Copies of this chain bind each other. A is one copy, B any other.
């Protein structure tokens, strides 16, 4: 799985004529070792713990490459933080977000996807991606 993603990035880099650098390798390693939905700052701290010399501009730059390569996706929550989540080509999930404790539950629903395709087709659109976020209160925060 991790090996697969590294291969994807490597192929992407080749295709774009990008160089393989220690920094990119490390940032990818650390990113792949994290849980879902990490912010740039969080990732930067983890990367810096592994190699003090890495600047945060590089982390910003590299995350954008991951998005381009299809390995990650930006998600913007209502708290103004931009986060990145892991993504495997062709697979994705939507989010159920608790506004009380900010916890995130992921789900997939093929019926919704199908309806989305119908709607898009009705407007002549070709869908590339989508984002569905449901905001509410989880069982623990309802009280």
Partner-B contacts on A (CB < 8 A): 74, 76, 78, 96, 98-99, 105, 107, 109, 111-112, 115-116, 119-120, 123-139, 142
Interface majority SS (helix, strand, loop, mixed), chain A? strand
Within the complex, the shortest CB–CB distance from A14 to chain B, in Å, comes to: 25
**Closest partner residue, chain B, to A67 (CB atom):** B78
Copy number in this complex? 2
Contact at B134–A119, with CB atoms within 8 Å?
A: yes
Contact at B123–A99, with CB atoms within 8 Å?
A: no
The residue that A135 contacts in the complex, of B109, B111, B129, with Cβ under 8 A, is B129
Contacts of A76 in B (CB 8 A): 76
Within the complex, the shortest CB–CB distance from A76 to chain B, in Å, comes to: 4
The 10 closest A-B pairs by CB, nearest first: A124-B139, A127-B136, A76-B76, A125-B136, A130-B134, A131-B133, A129-B135, A132-B132, A128-B136, A126-B136
A-B contact pairs, 26 of them (CB 8 A): A76-B76, A96-B119, A96-B120, A105-B125, A107-B119, A111-B115, A112-B115, A115-B115, A116-B132, A120-B136, A124-B138, A125-B137, A125-B138, A126-B136, A126-B137, A126-B142, A127-B134, A127-B136, A128-B135, A129-B135, A130-B133, A130-B134, A130-B135, A131-B131, A131-B135, A132-B133
